[in-house]
Amino acid sequence: MLLRLVVRLIGAGVTLAGTALLTFILIHAVPGDVARVIAGSKASPEVLQAIHTRLHLDEPVWRRLGWHLSDLAHGDLGRSYVTEQSVAEAILIRLPATAALAGLAVTFWMLIAIPLGALTARHPGGWVDRSVLVLSTLSLSLPAFWLARMCQYWFSYKLGWFPVAGFRGFGHLLLPAATLALLFVGYYARLIHTHMAEVLNSHYVRAARAKGASEGMTLFRHGLRNAMIPVVTVLGMDVAGLLGGVMFVENVFALPGIGTLAVQSVFNLDVPVIMGTVMFSAVIVVGANLVVDLLYGWMDPRIRSA
Amino acid sequence: MPNPGPEADSPCPPRQRFGGLFQNPLVAIGGTLLGLLLLVALAAPLLVSSGILQNPIQQFPDGLDPDGMPLRAGGRFLLGTDNLGRDVLSRVILGTRVSLTVGVAAMLTATLIGVAVGVLAGFRGGRTDLLLMRFTDMNMTLPAILLAVAFAGVMDGTPHHLHPASLPWHWLDLRLSRGMLSLCIIIGLVCWPGMVRVIRAEVLTVKEREFVMASRALGASDLHLVFRHILPNILPTTLVVAVMLTANTILLEAGLGYLGIGVPPPAPTWGSMVNDGQPYFITAPHMVIAPGVAIVVTVLAFNLLGQGLQEVLNPKSRK
């Protein structure tokens, strides 16, 4: 178990280092003129030069990479070109809103997807199964930015059930989280269906039925517990995709989260902030995968010994 | 099974598997939708030049009401007009071309990379496998949309020096400008990692099949094995994944257009149309609804087709 942990930790470290290198090459090696972005199009050459000197923009790329990596190792993500705020601070301030939104969304869609997946696997081929299949395909096909606008228009503006935008408490998170859940619930309902169907065909489920266990007991105790293992893996990998959705949804509902920060930084060409959010999401994804790996041992005793 | 012949480990030969595809309702619906969309995309320029559709980039003086606001649906402009007095219907229809072209081209780029990496990793195994899969994981940790945004920022038409700036090697300069081509490359470059795992897993099972072993024992070269045996046998899986990937590339294209870094204006793209419509949402919701519905229908067509193909070509998942 300890060896497994060490190996995983080293792997995660390698992945993160690679990601840092990749983002640097992507964004830093080839910037538009950042000084012009900061100072505006009418800035004098002296001002531009001053900014270049201050941000070390004239240094060779490899030297900037060295500084960048050592800063990252110290947890320093640099400063925003536009607001001068420390990027790590900017992200941390916005983390609670984003974390609450994402957590609520995952809870919503799992609460819907688990019963749907289990039921459709129990009665495959029926009309419930077919309609859930079509509906979940529809949910896969919705663009996040559009769905968020539509939900906002109908449920907040027309019906007045939810606050339209902004963030002043839990109520402001409900509709954005429901929007995100709508985007993901279809995929997870199908995923759970697939694994559940596999498990329900296994010998131990047949054995459980043969010994007279109740149907609910079989489905949830034997079926679901085993079917959820691969689902949790996918959930860990999906954090990156979730952040993509969060970005659009936060933007539409004007939530002060990391997604809004990312969109703003894109519009401002605020390189340190873009890179910071990318790095942050990489850390979250790698961390989530690590947690999932360790959860395995707890969820599935068969893996513990390996 | 009455006759477990030599082909017993393949449920049925490929030719039979591709026949009767349309008996699956999902394939039928998705395929029909897609066929209609293709038809619309191909016919769109003809419709415009023959005057049936308005010019998608012309700003009509009578396309705005006296207050300068977009017109509602109905009348001369069937789906209303946008904030510049342009015909929404013809922009939605012309947008099909951009969406399908970018979506399919990006899918081909991603598939090429994904299959190459997946086959190499699965077939070679060992250290190559480890290295390639680590690289894939690294790419998976980055949200595709953020990565695409980062790429798109690079492509602003300024020359990039691939050499120290002090050296006068301008033939090494790289100038990338934003447009359809670079958009296809960007989306292709961020979408391939999702494909690798599936392809690799498929290669790993095909590699161990008897006919591949036999061919190898007879002294076949690696190239022969890959092109004659591995690739044809992972074709059904690749097809399913590629069709579903197209749904994602189209969504990503729309997302980038929405963020204002897609195909530059005045080209009609669905994502940028939604973005244009947002400030007018309360008075002219059709500006946002119409292009959004177009995106959903197109993506849905690809997803249904992919789902159906999976049921037909991958009998294991058919339950």
**pLDDT confidence of residue B167:** 63
Q: What is the ipTM, given to two decimal places?
A: 0.80
Indicate the CATH number for domain A87-304. Answer: 1.10.3720.10
**pLDDT confidence of residue B212:** 85
Confidence of residue A36 (pLDDT cuts 50, 70, 90): low
Q: How far does A210 lie from chain B, in Å, by closest CA?
A: 22
Q: Do A143 and B304 touch (CB under 8 A)?
A: no
Go through B277-307 and write b for each residue having 16 or more CB atoms within 10 A of its CB, e for each that does not: beebbeebbbbbbbbbebbbebbbbbbbbbb
Over pLDDT 90: what percentage of chain A?
2
* Closest residue by Cα to residue B238 from B314, B299, B142: B314
What are the residue boundaries of the structural domains of chain A, listed by start?
2-73, 87-304
pLDDT top residue among A94 and A274: A94
**pLDDT confidence of residue A297:** 67
Mean pLDDT value across chain A: 80
What's the start-to-end Cα distance of chain B, in Å?
18
Contacts of A200 in chain B (CB under 8 A): none
Q: How far does B81 lie from chain A, in Å, by closest CA?
A: 19
Backbone phi, then psi, for A62, in 5-degree steps?
-65, -35
Report the residue of chain A nearest B138, measured CA to CA.
A15
Report the residue of chain A nearest B291, measured CA to CA.
A146
Q: Do B141 and A30 touch (CB under 8 A)?
A: no
pLDDT beyond 90 at A201: no
pLDDT per position in chain B (319 positions), as tens? 344 444 444 444 555 555 667 778 888 888 999 999 999 888 888 887 787 777 777 777 776 777 767 777 777 777 777 777 788 888 888 889 889 999 999 999 999 999 999 999 988 888 888 888 888 887 777 777 777 776 766 666 555 555 556 666 666 565 666 677 878 888 888 888 888 988 998 898 888 888 888 888 888 888 888 888 889 888 888 999 999 999 999 999 998 888 887 787 778 889 888 888 888 888 888 888 889 999 999 999 999 999 888 888 876 544 3
Q: Do A266 and B259 touch (CB under 8 A)?
A: yes
A-B C-beta contacts closer than 8 Å: 136
- Residue B156 has its nearest CB partner, among A32, A277, A278, at A32
Q: Do B274 and A149 touch (CB under 8 A)?
A: yes
Backbone phi, then psi, for B267, in 5-degree steps?
-55, 135
> Pairing state of beta strands B174-175 and B159-160?
antiparallel
Q: Do B285 and A153 touch (CB under 8 A)?
A: yes
**pLDDT confidence of residue B9:** 47
d(CA B274, CA B185): 23
Sign of CA dihedral A239, A29, B133, B213: positive
Q: Are A192 and A133 in contact (CB under 8 A)?
A: no
Helix (H) or strand (E) holding B175: strand B174-175
* Closest residue by Cα to residue A50 from A58, A62, A61: A58
Q: How far does A214 lie from chain B, in Å, by closest CA?
A: 24
**pLDDT confidence of residue B305:** 92
Contacts of A150 in chain B (CB under 8 A): 288-289, 292
How much of chain A is helix, strand and coil, in % rounded to 5?
80, 0, 20
Q: Do B260 and A267 touch (CB under 8 A)?
A: yes
Domain B36-56+70-317 listed as CATH 3.30.450.40: no
- Residue A266 has its nearest CB partner, among B149, B296, B307, at B149
Report the residue of chain B nearest A21, measured CA to CA.
B138
d(CA A76, CA B292): 40
How far CA A228 is from CA of A95, A119, A223, A284, in Å, comes to: 28, 14, 9, 21
pLDDT top residue among A164 and A288: A288
Count CA within 13 A, CB hemisphere, residue A98: 26
What are the residue boundaries of the structural domains of chain B, listed by start?
36-56+70-317
Q: How far does A170 lie from chain B, in Å, by closest CA?
A: 26
Helix (H) or strand (E) holding B160: strand B159-160
**pLDDT confidence of residue B107:** 93
The lowest-confidence range among A24-38, A110-124, B20-34, B127-141 is: A24-38
Q: Are B278 and A149 in contact (CB under 8 A)?
A: yes
- Residue A15 has its nearest CB partner, among B137, B254, B260, at B137
Confidence of residue A124 (pLDDT cuts 50, 70, 90): confident
**pLDDT confidence of residue A32:** 55
Q: Do B135 and A18 touch (CB under 8 A)?
A: yes
Q: What is the pLDDT of residues A249-272, one digit of tens each?
A: 888 888 888 888 888 887 777 777
- Residue B142 has its nearest CB partner, among A142, A149, A282, at A282
- Residue A253 C-alpha from the chain's centroid: 17
- Residue A141 has its nearest CB partner, among B149, B156, B303, at B303
**pLDDT confidence of residue B319:** 37
Based on C-alpha coordinates, what's the Rg of chain B? 24
Contacts of A153 in chain B (CB under 8 A): 281, 285
